[in-house]
Each structure stands twice: as structure tokens, then as C-alpha cells.
């Protein structure tokens, strides 16, 4: 499985000081289906949960965006 970061996702990661390695770990461990997926996960070291939007096409996962989700986890 190949994980690619869009230009927008790279800039958001740098802006919010989210390591790309941490994002890769979250995406690898998530159960994803074909098409667009959103992952919201609470991570130690961050005040808010991280929200990651990805697009899955065959074996290529493209990270569209990532940011601290200030509205919190939806239950």
C-alpha cells in the first residue's frame, strides 16, 4: 500500500506540527474502503483529536488533509 500526501496535506501537517510519520501510522492502522474516508483519532501530545481525510484508489492512499479537530469526537 502506497501512501501519498497532497500538497495541502503537507502544508497542514507543517502548520499544525503534526509529524508525517504519525499520520502514516494512523492511516496504516485504519480500516479503509475504496473512495473517500475520514479518520478522527485522539493522539497523545495533542490537545484536540486529529482529523485526516484520505482518498483510496486501488492500492494508493492519498492523504487529502489533516488538522486538529477542534469540535471534538462525534459520538
The domains of the chain are located at 2-68
| pTM recorded for the entire structure | 0.86
Comparing CA positions, the residue from 13, 15, 65 lying closest to residue 40 is 65
More confident residue, 75 or 49: 49
DSSP state of 52: E
What are the tens digits of pLDDT across the range 24-71?
A: 999 999 999 999 999 999 989 888 999 999 999 999 999 999 999 887
**Res 73 pLDDT > 70:** no
Model pLDDT, residue 68: 93
pLDDT in tens, 12-33: 999 999 999 999 999 999 999 9
pLDDT of residue 70: 85
Beta-bridge partner residues of 65: 53
Domain at 2-68: CATH code: 3.30.2310
Amino acid at each position: 500500500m502506497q501512501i501519498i500526501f497532497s500538497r495541502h496535506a503537507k502544508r497542514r501537517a507543517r502548520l499544525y506540527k503534526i509529524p508525517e510519520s504519525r499520520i502514516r501510522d494512523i492511516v496504516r492502522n485504519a480500516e479503509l474502503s475504496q473512495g473517500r474516508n475520514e479518520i478522527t483519532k485522539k493522539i497523545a501530545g495533542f490537545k484536540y483529536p486529529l482529523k485526516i481525510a484520505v482518498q483510496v484508489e486501488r492500492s494508493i492512499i492519498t492523504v487529502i488533509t489533516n488538522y486538529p479537530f477542534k469540535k471534538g469526537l462525534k459520538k
